Amino acid sequence: MTSDLNIRNARIVLTDEVIEGSISIRDDLIASVDAANGTVGEDFEGDYLIPGLVELHTDHLETHYSPRPGVRWNAISAIQAHDAQMATSGITTVFDCLRLGAEEDDGFRPGEMRALADAIEQAESEGRLRSEHLLHLRCEVSAPDVVEHLEDFRNDPRVRLASLMDHAPGQRQFQTMDAYTLYYKTKRGLSDEAFARYVAMRQEQSAKYSSMHRKEIAEHCRQSGVTIASHDDATLEHVAEAIEDGVRLAEFPTSIEAARASHKAGLSVLMGAPNIVRGGSHSGNIAARDLAAHGILNVLSSDYVPGSLLYGAFKLADDVETISLPKAISMVTDTPARTVGLTDRGSIAAGKRADLLRVRWDGSVPVVRSVWRQGQRVA
């Protein structure tokens, strides 16, 4: 399907400046960008025109697929609901996180993530989806069965990103037991004895499997051209390990020391947009705003709240003096796209994909008024 679209009277957010002007779209690409309002086309009435958002890390599909413990929703229905929320949040490219490596009580059966990935492909082939969906494999390297689960995804071209994570107590996100106790004991209602057994099991598995699985999965990713992400790096040793593994994306570092070292090494440092919106981490780790103020934040992710991605970018530009709006928008568009090798999108320039948003911002909460993916209006 071909399409021609002209947009005028827009505040166009480029990678380094905001201009008032117009753009033309031919088929699925941006044909031209002009610093003049033009006389034809859709009148944006001074609203912002920004690139479609690129989301690298969201667990949000799980909340639709498994809305309650032990409950499974129809996969296609869950994917459609998830996709609709992504698109109306301005996310035109989304990396859906799928968990590999089962914890003792997580409830997902072997093969279930593969079936969910197949349902995503089916939904797209049937024209059900508004956003483009790619896969991010969240590999729990301390789990005994993580490599077995990885076999389900070998040679899958949709897999473009894999994160190496270890959520065992005493590691990374859970260096102290306070947060771990809240997350695994209090929320799950474990007795003292059951929690002690669980902690001992996870620590034993981490010591036995993590290093071996990390190296094996990283080697698979390097051979397959899959971008590798580290997760919850806390120390300089963690960062050195990530560099050795060929990591390009440092997700949610838990210390400024680790974030600074990752940034210095050329890794893209990712933090959660909910952290920006809320003003701090829900788990008591570093504030994303502090990393931005230090110039060591590169990418935002909506994580568990899809609407936070655009909100976080605008709020970051408002709250941090050294972060301009173009720089903040690049954190949710151009930089994440380039980090995973998607060079055809993420910025407004001739020849780029026409993934675009019309946004109204009044200083409180941004409103997504229209969304185009490859020149076609999807919201």
Does the structure show a pLDDT above 60 at 182? no
Closest CA to 218 of 161, 157, 166, 142: 161
Domain annotation for the chain: domains and CATH numbers? 1-51+345-379 (2.30.40.10), 53-343 (3.20.20.140)
C-alpha 296/C-alpha 307 separation (Å) is 23
Whole-model pTM over 0.85? yes
Structure tokens at 196: 């002690």
Q: What is the mean pLDDT of residues 355-374?
A: 96
Q: What is residue 62's three-state secondary structure?
A: helix
Q: Please tell me the predicted confidence (pLDDT) of residue 344.
A: 98
CA count, 13 A, side-chain hemisphere, 106: 14
Q: What is the mean pLDDT of residues 60-89?
A: 95
Q: What is the mean pLDDT of the chain?
A: 91
Question: From the DSSP assignment, how many helices (H) and strands (E) are in the chain?
Answer: 13, 16
C-alpha 156/C-alpha 23 separation (Å) is 36
Kindly state the percentage of the chain with pLDDT values over 90. 78
Of the candidate ranges 90-94, 103-107, 274-278, the one whose mean pLDDT is the lowest = 103-107
Structure tokens at 266: 């050329």
Q: Please tell me the predicted confidence (pLDDT) of residue 206.
A: 85
C-alpha 229/C-alpha 237 separation (Å) is 16
134 touches 69 (CB < 8 A): no
Q: Please tell me the predicted confidence (pLDDT) of residue 286.
A: 84
Structure tokens at 282: 């829900």
